[in-house]
Amino acid sequence: MGAIWRFFSGEDDTCPAPEQSAQRTSVWGFLTGQHAPKTVPEQTSAAYHEAGHARAVHVGGATVTGMEVHADGSGKTGWTWDPVWTWDRRRATDEQKRRAELVIYVAGQESECQYLMDRHGYSYKEALQATHAGASGDRRNFKRRAEGTGYTFDGMRGEVHRLVRRHAYTIETNAKPLDRHGRRGGTWV
């Protein structure tokens, strides 16, 4: 038993390789029951989710009217399309607005997944599973709005994932105060 303890505790190593140390810690945590399920504050996850929606709203050319999150993990981001302009100051077409709205629906879950991967060590698959139920309303809205277009929620993930990575700093700087205060007004995104 003493040899097992020395191996897992690292007492018998003078300079373990980082990957061996991480593997040992993981196995040790499993053997001692310290390998508990990951727990994440619901309101914080929801803040990143809503901040992702808000950033996609702004990138899509619309205006955020407000955001809110609650301790139970629910939240809402409001936006308006009037007036909707493209970056070159031309009026957006209905198809451009529809595509931007579809990106907005996917951006919430992708932003929350990115937060779980960066801050809590989730794999992408684990993060998708953990956020699937919270994105059910977004999925319903996406399905209703995408009817007849050929767009799918999962099919847009790659594009939205790149958007979330590109705007990660802005999403985080908006999620933190939203988490602290529970709500934010519009036009600040």
pTM exceeds cut of 0.85: no
From residue 32, give the alpha-carbon distance in Å to each of 4, 9, 25, 29: 12, 12, 10, 5
Residues 105 and 56: their CA atoms lie apart, in Å, by 9
Omega of the bond leading into 41 within 30 degrees of 0 (cis): no
Query: Could you report the per-residue pLDDT of 55-75, keeping only the tens digit for each?
Result: 999 998 888 999 999 999 899
Reduced to 3 states (helix: H, G, I; strand: E, B; else coil), residue 8 is helix
Angle between helices 157-166 and 94-120 (to 10 degrees): 70
Per-residue pLDDT of the chain (189 residues; tens, 9 = 90+): 555 545 544 554 444 444 343 444 445 454 544 444 567 889 999 999 999 999 999 998 888 999 999 999 899 999 987 665 555 556 667 888 899 999 999 999 999 999 999 999 999 999 999 999 999 999 999 999 999 999 999 999 999 999 999 999 999 999 999 999 998 876 555
From residue 145, give the alpha-carbon distance in Å to each of 10, 133, 142: 56, 19, 5
Q: What stretch of H or E contains 161? A: helix 157-166
DSSP state of 37: P
- For the chain, the structural domain boundaries read 2-32, 42-185
CATH classification of 42-185, choosing from 2.40.160, 3.40.1000, 1.10.3470, 1.20.58?
1.20.58
